[in-house]
Amino acid sequence: MKLLEKVTLGKQTLKNAIAMAPMTRSRATADGIVQELTVLYYKQRASAGLIITEGINISEQAIGSPYTPGIYNQEQIEAWKKVTRSVHDDGDVIYAQLWHTGRVGHSIDKNGNLPVAPSAIGIQGQQHYTAQGMQDYETPQELSIEEIKKIVKDYGQAAKNAVAAGFDGVELHAAFGYLPNQFLSESANKRTDEYGGSVENRNRFVLEVMQELVNAAGSDKVGIKISPTIYYNNIENSDPEAQFKPLIEALNELPLAYLHLMNGMFPLDHLPHYPKDAMETFGKVSRHLVIANAGYTRETGEAELEKGIAKIISYGSPFVANPDLPKRFELNAALNQPDLATMYGGGEKGYTDYPFLEN
Ligand SMILES: Cc1cc2nc3c(=O)[nH]c(=O)nc-3n(C[C@H](O)[C@H](O)[C@H](O)COP(=O)(O)O)c2cc1C
């Protein structure tokens, strides 16, 4: 099976082509420090060829939800060292996903500060999970050029901190409607300066951040996750191909480890102009290794690898409930089903207590 074959990522060899997709589990302390339980959680899943961590806040401003971890102070870095050491002891490779939530947050969880965004446009028709329950979104504060430049630097510092914490590389979370995705979107970005108004200008922020990450972490150690056809969090483009193909072409010019590409996860009936096959449309443009994500099973993952566009498949929810997912794929064993009630927050229940296959 291709899923179980070794694959080269950057300068490293992965023991299989199965990645654990980044998943927020909201089990850090209120100060964004990961705990012993998180060390165990990742260690349990170290048979994945590659682990990509949950989104990690690059700064206090980046925080969108309670109990999400950070990597902007020494205590947070020290805590992550325990995770990377224990995963490396098992011969695994682990990347840190760097996260700035932009407008996908709430002042309740930001010390009273409003979320920031490319433009002062709040998310409509959805609510946000906060420490005080579900809340309507607020109108975010539009970022100034100086503030944008500061965020680019924050990403660079977070990447340096990730290297100091022992991570093998970093991934920019530019998918699912978070800050970088907001810059890429015509519905969230109405700027008229060099960060908005044209395809090239909307791509500028992401490309500046990626260059900063490469400067900080080095060649072949930086990846990026994008979701060109996901409209969740009020992200829309009149022509996703016109926006994302030039982005991927520009990313081709940087010395990256991979492009992590999501399929559309939601029905596209009301957006008939959106491409239906993200791998075919966008994956083929990438000269970097492609990690395919969203909705794959053992069989469809294998079939995707057979097609040859993607070299790695990342699995999210299957890894929540199956710490030994590669073994289960190998044996074609039944999978545990994830419990939705314990996805976010809480302790070991639904986190580190899913059963392994019995030997
Ligand atoms: C509980 C949960 C938390 C998630 N948190 C993140 C996150 O922090 N960063 C991210 O890029 N994607 C996140 N995702 C999305 C997953 O990485 C993945 O894209 C999605 O689950 C689709 O893959 P799947 O069909 O294999 O589950 C999350 C998904 C789940 C289920």
Residue 304 placed within a domain: yes
Residue 198 placed within a domain: yes
CATH number at residue 98: 3.20.20.70
Strand partners of residue 291 = 260, 312
- 10-residue mean pLDDT series, the chain (359 residues): 98 98 98 98 98 98 97 98 98 98 97 97 96 96 98 98 98 98 98 98 98 98 98 96 98 98 94 95 98 98 98 98 98 98 97 94
Residue 66 placed within a domain: yes
Q: Separation of 193 CA from ligand 1 center, angstroms?
A: 33
The active-site residue, picked from 41, 95, 155, 178, is 178
Residue appearing with tokens 């083929």:
284
Whole-angstrom Cα distance, residue 182 to residue 200?
14
Out of 18, 20, 23, mutate this one to test ligand 1's pocket (max ligand atoms within 8 Å of CB): namely 23
pLDDT at 266 (0 to 100): 93
- Compute CA 75 distance to the chain's CA centroid, rounded to the nearest angstrom: 23
Residue 70: domain span: 2-342
pLDDT at 40 (0 to 100): 98
pLDDT at 342 (0 to 100): 97
Length of the chain: 359
Residue 348 placed within a domain: no
Out of 25, 38, 68, 317, mutate this one to test ligand 1's pocket (max ligand atoms within 8 Å of CB): namely 317
Residue 358 placed within a domain: no
Residue 353 placed within a domain: no
| Helices of type H across the chain | 36-44, 74-89, 145-164, 179-184, 199-217, 240-252, 278-281, 298-307, 317-321, 325-331
Residue 356 placed within a domain: no
pLDDT at 240 (0 to 100): 98
Known active-site residue 178: yes
> Residues with Cβ < 8 Å from 297, sequence gap 6 or more?
none
294 lines ligand 1 (CB under 6 A): yes
Q: Which atom of ligand 1 is nearest to the CA of 338?
A: 31
Residue appearing with tokens 């939530």:
101
Residue 354 placed within a domain: no
pLDDT at 234 (0 to 100): 97
221 lines ligand 1 (CB under 6 A): no
| C-alpha separations of 166 from 14, 35, 83, 122, 233 in Å | 17, 16, 9, 37, 32
What's the token pair of residue 239?
């022509």
How many folded domains does the chain comprise?
1
Strand partners of residue 260 = 225, 291
